[in-house]
Amino acid sequence: MFNKQTLRDFDLQGKKVLLRVDFNVPLNSNLQITNDKRIRETLPTLNYLIEHGAKTIIVSHLGRPDGKVKPEFSLKPVAERLRELLKKPIILTDDVAGSDTFKYVRTMKDGDIIMMENVRFDPGEEANDPEFAKKLASLADIYCNDAFGTMHRAHASTTRVAEYLPSCAGLLVEKELQVLGGALENPERPFVVIVGGAKVKDKIGLISRLIEVADVVMIGGAMAYTFLRAQGHNVGKSVVEKDKIALARLLLEKAKTQNVKFVLPVDHVVTGEFSFSAEYIVTTTKKFPRTGIGMDIGPKTIKLFEHYISKAKTVFWNGPLGVSEFQRFATGTNEVAKALANSKAFTIVGGGDSAKAIEQLNLQSKINHVSTGGGAALKLIEGVSLPGLQAISEKL
């Protein structure tokens, strides 16, 4: 699956490398980083560049400044954290491929790193403007994309710039593609998949593709109620995508045809209103109250999911299994996270809220791979072409 050029295919000594990373980290109201995972995951690539004598020019976005300079989206906190992690000076330029950036690039020595300001401060970035991409390219000799989380975006710094420079993938992108690709191409079996989240429409391609390669597919979160309704069950006032019921039936039939075990919740944590403090009952699918709202998977379902996880050799998980932003209804999500951490299987967590649960429980070290790209990871598994990946040169 992975046949793109990587950093290892280049002589980097003395070369200027334009490195696209995804440092779109969460900040609190004081503009302090609350989770630096995306920065830490890029350290192998940065250290490789330093050790091989490259002059590295970092390009990243942060937030959605919509092509305007907005101080609250400055990369200053990121530059400060990167200095701490690498224990070396990191210059943050005042502009995006402007005079200040060019000034510092001209004085760089082998092994130096500079970072330009938020690339989305320039409207040419999200417009995928060729002139802006040329300006970025003029800074360097080589383009390296290590921003897996943005590979599904066709922006100037993720795709267009590769038209003007020799291009390659960074070590993080290489790892993501090898792990996620390997899970699909040749997983150790049984291969168990857990998919949660609110809407079937967001995961149609993912579920359909995984049915083709998995042995067991387990569904949780609000989307489970569309599948349960498709089976003829009453689910009260739970969220159901009525226009996706027919599609849910097709996916259930596809699983049956493919001899894939398709597991839906057998019991539920149910409230009378959608609220973080709502009183709840636990009930089975057959006894679901007509005015109830499903907020989480119940204890029997948790045990059922844990059973299949314990038998698995490979597990892929994406999406919360309840309204996990409300602590009272995060039990299902948290217990499945713990089950993965205790599993002997090769475990993959596909970014997003699943990755957040793993991090909040401090279980990262017990999971084999936590993806840095939620949307990109799902698109890759679905088989959808990633513009950022397509732009990178093939191996010679």
What span, in angstroms and rounded, lies between the C-alpha atoms of 7 and 53? 12
**Is residue 153 among the annotated active site residues?**
no
Residue from 37, 70, 199, 249 carrying the catalytic annotation: 199
Residue from 38, 55, 135, 244 carrying the catalytic annotation: 38
What span, in angstroms and rounded, lies between the C-alpha atoms of 285 and 288? 5
* Helical ranges in the chain per DSSP H: 37-40, 43-51, 76-86, 99-106, 130-137, 171-185, 200-213, 223-230, 245-257, 299-311, 331-342, 352-360, 374-382, 387-390
**Is residue 232 among the annotated active site residues?**
no
Cα 9–chain centre separation: 26
Tokens for 378?
Answer: 């799902």
Residue from 197, 319, 352, 373 carrying the catalytic annotation: 352
Give, rounded to a whole angstrom, the gap between the first and last alpha carbons of the chain.
15
The phi and psi torsions of 14 (rounded to 5 degrees) equal 75, 0
**Is residue 124 among the annotated active site residues?**
no
Residue from 14, 53, 98, 375 carrying the catalytic annotation: 375
Q: Tokens 């959808």, residue?
A: 384
Checking DSSP bridges between strand 346-349 and strand 369-370, what pairing results, if any?
parallel
Cβ pair 78, 33 in contact under 8 A = yes
Q: Among all residues, which ones are annotated catalytic?
A: 38, 199, 352, 375
